[in-house]
Amino acid sequence: MGSGDLDTTALQVRLLGVPAAASIVRERIRAWLDGFGWPEDEADDVVLAVHEAVCNSIEHGYDGHPAGDVEVVGERSVDGDRQRVRIVVRDEGRWRRPRSPGYRGRGIVVMRGCMAGVDVRPGDTGTEVVLVSRPVPTVRARTLPPAVTTTEVRTRLT
C-alpha cells in the first residue's frame, strides 16, 4: 500500500439499537483491529470510543421511541509505516442537545480523549459520529481479517 492508501478490508456491523448490542460491537471492533496487529493500548482507546458512540446512539437517538438500527462502518488507511482507522457510527434517531452533565454526559469528551478526531453530525435522518484513530505502526497482522466483515444483529428484548 502506498501513501494514504485505503485498505479494502472494511468492517460493517448493523444492529438493533438495544443495550445488549454494544458488547457485540466491542467484540467485532477488537477482532477487526487485532487482524491488523493494532497495539493493545491503542485498540482499547478505539474500542472505548466506538462503544461510547454506540451507547449514545442507543440511549439518546431513540429516546422515547422504538429502537431503530445502529450501523458501525470502519475502514483502515495506511500511510508508509503508519496506519489508522476511520469508524462511522450512524443511527436514524433524533439529535438531542447535551444537557447539564451532572454525573453523566461525558461520552463525547471520552471519545475525544481516545481518538485523534471526533465529528458529530446531526441531521434530519439521524446522527453520524465519525471517529478517526491516532496513527499506529503498521506491523504484520496477527491474523488475516476477512475482505469484508459484516455482522447484522436483530434482537428484540421482551
Q: Return the minimum-mean-pLDDT range out of 8-22, 27-41, 111-125.
A: 8-22
Name the pTM for this structure: 0.81
Condensed to tens digits (0 to 9), the pLDDT of residues 140-152 reads 655 445 444 455 5
What is the bridge-based pairing of β-strands 69-79 and 10-16?
Answer: antiparallel
Q: Out of 3.30.565.10, 1.10.3720.10, 3.20.20.150, 3.30.200.20, select the CATH number for domain 5-153.
A: 3.30.565.10
Question: Which of 3-7, 31-35, 80-84 bottoms out in mean pLDDT, i.e. has the lowest?
Answer: 3-7
CA 126 and chain centroid, separation = 16
DSSP assignment string, 46-103? HHHHHHHHHHHIIIIITTTS---EEEEEEEEEEETTEEEEEEEEEESS--------TT
Question: 91: which strand partners?
Answer: 70, 127
Residue 148: per-residue pLDDT: 47
Residue with cell 482499547: 44
Write down the domain spans for the chain.
5-153
